[in-house]
């Protein structure tokens, strides 16, 4: 707990709210008047005693609940980063879920600009339901394609492509059943549990559950959620030059329909846009096999 930072945050947020804006009569008469809401007014809005709220502001509340901190954040009109700071200062950890149910469904346009300028490594941002929000040209070139065809995104939703599409299961994601299906299914289950009101996730849950191939794996529940950051899995990469000495296996064909590709591994370097909790930014680092 950081008592000084907690007190400063709460006092600052109280001072920004005009009591008249939340239904309190304007104060009149002589005497010094501090700006914003008083502790007593905040306590009344929280349906607690002034003593209880004052304990929090002084950093003397021994075990503030998540529900109480979320109520404080709402009364004091905190943005998501301020609510995160409230949790960190009061409890020593970040909140388990974002306050805004829409959090993680979009990112600032600057992300698209920044990612579009990256060259040499595939990278992208997806939302909480694995819908792609931004990506670079190297990411598009990572997907399998027919000979002489231009690179394209086969699917805007990564989970749907990885778990349900034949070209992913049979051609691009090497050892799909052993290395990909279980962890990806576990990630989907965790996302559905964390965001039960997200319509895209509910649709994915139904589609994967009903699929003849992915459904039995999804329903086994024998693999816990796996954090993607640092995970390494085998893939085919269709956009690398022919292998030279010491550069791994030469390109070959996974089938007659797709252009030649090289087998290797991709390591996922994942992070989170801080203003969009639940969204994910990922670099994919490919290493040819051999």
Give residue 278's pLDDT. Answer: 81
57 with 169, same domain: the answer is no
Measured in whole angstroms, how far is the alpha carbon of residue 71 from the centre of its chain? Answer: 24
SS3 content of the chain, % helix, strand, coil (to 5): 40, 15, 45
173 with 270, same domain: the answer is yes
Q: β-strands 262-271, 123-126: how paired?
A: unpaired
pLDDT > 70 fraction of the chain, expressed in percent and rounded: 89
CATH number for the domain harbouring residue 171: 3.30.450
| Tens-digit pLDDT profile for residues 185-227 | 999 998 888 788 889 999 999 999 999 999 999 988 666 666 6
Name the residue with higher pLDDT: 285 or 276. 285
| Tens-digit pLDDT profile for residues 23-78 | 777 665 554 466 788 999 999 999 999 999 999 999 888 788 999 999 999 999 99
132 with 252, same domain: the answer is yes
Does pTM surpass 0.85? no
Please tell me what DSSP assigns to residue 264: E
Domain annotation covers residue 104: no
113 with 245, same domain: the answer is yes
Query: What domain range is 174 assigned to?
Result: 109-288
SS3 (DSSP) at 156: coil
Give residue 42's pLDDT. Answer: 92
232 with 132, same domain: the answer is yes
14 with 157, same domain: the answer is no
Q: Count of domains in the chain?
A: 2
Calculate the dihedral angle through the C-alpha atoms of 109, 191, 98, 268, rounding to the nearest 10 degrees.
-50
43 with 176, same domain: the answer is no
Give residue 26's pLDDT. Answer: 64
137 with 39, same domain: the answer is no
194 with 279, same domain: the answer is yes
């Amino acid at each position: 707990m950081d008592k000084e930072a907690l007190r400063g945050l709460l006092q600052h947020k109280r001072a920004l709210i005009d009591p008249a804006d939340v239904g309190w009569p304007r104060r009149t008469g002589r005497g010094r008047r501090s700006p914003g809401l008083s502790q007593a007014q905040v306590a009344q809005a929280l349906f607690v005693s002034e003593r209880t709220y004052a304990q929090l502001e002084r950093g003397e509340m021994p075990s503030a609940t998540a529900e109480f901190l979320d109520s404080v954040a709402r009364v004091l009109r905190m943005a998501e980063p301020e609510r995160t700071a409230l949790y960190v200062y009061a409890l020593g950890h970040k909140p388990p879920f974002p306050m805004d149910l829409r959090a993680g469904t979009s990112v600032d346009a600057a992300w698209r600009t920044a990612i579009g300028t990256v060259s040499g490594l595939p990278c992208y941002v997806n939302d909480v339901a694995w819908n792609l929000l931004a990506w670079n040209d190297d990411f598009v070139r990572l997907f399998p394609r027919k000979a002489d065809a231009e690179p394209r995104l086969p699917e805007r939703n990564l989970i749907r492509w990885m778990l349900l599409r034949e070209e992913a299961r049979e051609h691009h994601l090497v050892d799909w059943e052993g290395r990909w299906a279980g962890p990806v299914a576990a990630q989907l289950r965790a996302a559905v549990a964390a965001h039960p009101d997200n319509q895209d996730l509910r649709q994915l849950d139904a589609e994967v559950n009903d699929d003849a191939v992915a459904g039995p794996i999804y329903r086994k529940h024998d693999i816990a959620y796996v954090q993607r950051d640092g995970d390494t899995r085998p893939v085919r990469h269709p956009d690398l030059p022919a292998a030279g000495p010491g550069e791994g296996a030469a390109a070959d064909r996974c089938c007659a329909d797709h252009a030649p590709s090289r087998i290797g591994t991709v390591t996922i370097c994942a992070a989170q846009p801080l203003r969009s909790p639940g969204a994910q930014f990922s670099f994919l680092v490919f290493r040819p096999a051999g």
